[in-house]
Structure 1
Amino acid sequence: MTVEANGERLFCRVGGSGPPLLLLHGYPQSHVCWHKIALRLAEHFTVVATDLPGYGRSSVPPLSADHAAYSKRSMAALFVELMHVLGHERFFLAGHDRGGRVAYRMALDHPDRIQRMSVLDILPTCDYWDRLDRLFGLKIYHWMFLAQPAPFPEKLISASPVRFLFHTLRSWTAEKSLKCFSEEALKHNRAWFCDPDRISATCEDYRAGAGPDYEHDRQSLDSGQKIEIPLLALWGDKGIATSVDSPLDVWRNWCPGAEGLSLPCGHFLPEEAPDETFDALLDFFSR
């Protein structure tokens, strides 16, 4: 279904029964990334799996000089409104990659709306930027590339979008292959990622990451703001978050009571390690 929220049209799939659980995906994917565990989660929760603005089938906000529409603060407010429209004033929340950045910003800006939250294979945005060195820069080169001014990165990607998409997906898995992704999921991703407007939107997401997202994170840190709700950090033992010695220590700087768990996979936890991801989320959200 498509839901109108704060002037944007957000595509989402809703199913199951029980406490509401919002699932947010990352780059370069859509809500489909949850397909291996969504039905199992729906046996315990009312699952809302949605596409971020500019991704999948959601509407594409216009680009702007300040990248405000793609800031995680704007997206967080957008999904709070989405859940309100669907009748959920408080809910559980799980976010992978870019969706995890929306999730922890939502916990900071709207703490009364979230009961529990899990972030998958990320560290906070300002921690990534502040820790960039030669080795880490090579690992997350796309942060610098995609954040370049429009239309430079989107023009290069548009020259061969499927090749870029598949290279990105492959290179972030533990096996450096596409084996963990179903053919149906790859077909869906190919379809929307070849749209020039959506390629531009996903680049704008990263431009926001280098601009307002960093500034909002820094303001939160400098003011001593903490995440007060229960937080579970999950990461792949061969994922991107392992670029630091202890991802959990980083998260406890933001949320003193944070829990953490390493899973046997690369970056794409719901597809590379679906059983382990499902078990961890079910245990955490069922407490």
Structure 2
Amino acid sequence: MSEAPLPDLFPDFETRHIETRSGSLFCRVGGQGQPLLLVHGYPQTHAMWHKVAPELAKRFTLVIPDLPGYGRSSIPPLSDDHAAYSKRAVADALVDLMLSLGHDRFTLVGHDRGARVSYRMALDHPDRLIKVAVLDILPTYDYWRRMDRAFALKIYHWAFLAQPAPFPDNLIAASADYYLDHTLASWTATKDLSAFHPDALAHYHAFFSQPDRIAATCEDYRAGATIDLDHDTADVEARHKIDVPLLALWGGAGIAQSGETPLDVWQRWASDVQGCAIGGGHFMAEENPEELLEKLLPFLKKAA
């Protein structure tokens, strides 16, 4: 990470380091009200929530961590079975985090990889969740099942990042700034970096300049192609469903909207589902924070 201090995007929030079974997790804590856990995705950090956090903090106590291996959180070891980066292991660690902060039940909003952790937590720890929102994803099981030519070209990174270490890790590290900027821009509706505040980009570039963290993010995707898929498949075969209320939101020009309607997919996975598309691409918290809040707040405020 850059030695220069990073811009503080959450000036009214505490900075915490909480020990969990996945190591120390960095997080920001602020606001007032019922606990709300916000979980970022790839290739970002907790900084992605900076545009929506001030409004959410008026109504909720926000806990905004960096995922294991990302940002300023500990980096679990890589392994042949990728278990430390499974969404089950990460969900367990986030439960540890919330319990350490005194929250035995909470609401959860996740984007991208964080949304995969979120629906896994809803399946594994339904007693901990009041409700859950997933932003611009479909379940891992469904992504791999629909991997035809068109979808594979759209999400080529799923197969690339899942290649054995250290192949994708080293290729990305050789030109990390270019790879990061290309990835961020290509998943927006406008295909550029205009949605991202320079201070947020500073956070993303700082963590993505570290080869061990690049390797961790690849391991995240290796888990997605192996152990995460196994966990999803077991739930499908056992006909397990998410019982807590679930909101699915996706970008109209995002990744999840390709092919089958996301709401139709989520209705196979959860018993109480609502959702819709919003304007923009994949990074809705930064591309279209106003509409995201407009759709998210009624769901979050409604009693479960």
Same fold by TM-score, threshold 0.5 exceeded?
yes
Aligned partner of 1:133 in structure 2 is 148
Aligned partner of 1:245 in structure 2 is 260
SS at match of 2:127: coil
How far apart are the structure 2 equivalents of 1:281 and 1:243? Answer: 22
Spell out the pairing of 1:192-271 with structure 2 (5 A cutoff).
Answer: 192-271=207-286
In the TM superposition, what is the alpha-carbon distance from 1:261 to its structure 2 partner?
1.2
Q: Does 1:145 align with 2:160?
A: yes
Structure 1: which amino acid aligns with 2:273?
A
Structure 2: which amino acid aligns with 1:108?
L
Which range moved further: 48-57 or 272-281?
A: 272-281
> 2:22 touches 2:76 (CA, 8 Å); kept in 1?
no
SS at match of 1:242: coil
> 2:37 touches 2:107 (CA, 8 Å); kept in 1?
yes
Which range moved further: 194-203 or 251-260?
A: 251-260
Structure 1: which amino acid aligns with 2:68?
P
In the TM superposition, what is the alpha-carbon distance from 1:7 to its structure 2 partner?
5.0
In the TM superposition, what is the alpha-carbon distance from 1:6 to its structure 2 partner?
1.5
In the TM superposition, what is the alpha-carbon distance from 1:265 to its structure 2 partner?
0.5
Aligned partner of 2:12 in structure 1 is none
How far apart are the structure 1 equivalents of 2:174 and 2:125? Answer: 40
> 2:22 touches 2:89 (CA, 8 Å); kept in 1?
no
Aligned partner of 1:282 in structure 2 is 297
In the TM superposition, what is the alpha-carbon distance from 1:271 to its structure 2 partner?
0.3
SS at match of 2:254: coil
Aligned partner of 2:25 in structure 1 is 10
1:87 to 102, 125, 131: 102
Aligned partner of 1:59 in structure 2 is 74
Name segments (4+ residues, structure 1) moved above 6 Å. Answer: none
Aligned partner of 1:122 in structure 2 is 137
In the TM superposition, what is the alpha-carbon distance from 1:245 to its structure 2 partner?
2.8
Structure 2: which amino acid aligns with 1:54?
G
In the TM superposition, what is the alpha-carbon distance from 1:257 to its structure 2 partner?
2.0
Aligned alpha-carbon RMSD (Å)? 0.6
In the TM superposition, what is the alpha-carbon distance from 1:256 to its structure 2 partner?
2.9
1:49 to 55, 64, 70: 64
Structure 2: which amino acid aligns with 1:138?
L
**After superposition, what is the alpha-carbon deviation per residue over 1:207-263, rounded to whole angstroms, capped at 9, x for unaligned?**
000000000000001000000000000000000001123100000000132101100
> 2:38 touches 2:65 (CA, 8 Å); kept in 1?
yes
2:175 to 160, 166, 170: 160
TM-score (norm 1): 0.99
**Equivalent pairs, count:** 287
Aligned partner of 2:189 in structure 1 is 174
Unaligned runs of 5+ in 2: 1-15
How far apart are the structure 2 equivalents of 1:165 and 1:7? Answer: 25
How far apart are the structure 2 equivalents of 1:95 and 1:189? Answer: 18
Aligned partner of 1:40 in structure 2 is 55
SS at match of 2:37: strand
In the TM superposition, what is the alpha-carbon distance from 1:63 to its structure 2 partner?
0.2
How far apart are the structure 1 equivalents of 2:125 and 2:141? Answer: 20
> 2:68 touches 2:75 (CA, 8 Å); kept in 1?
yes
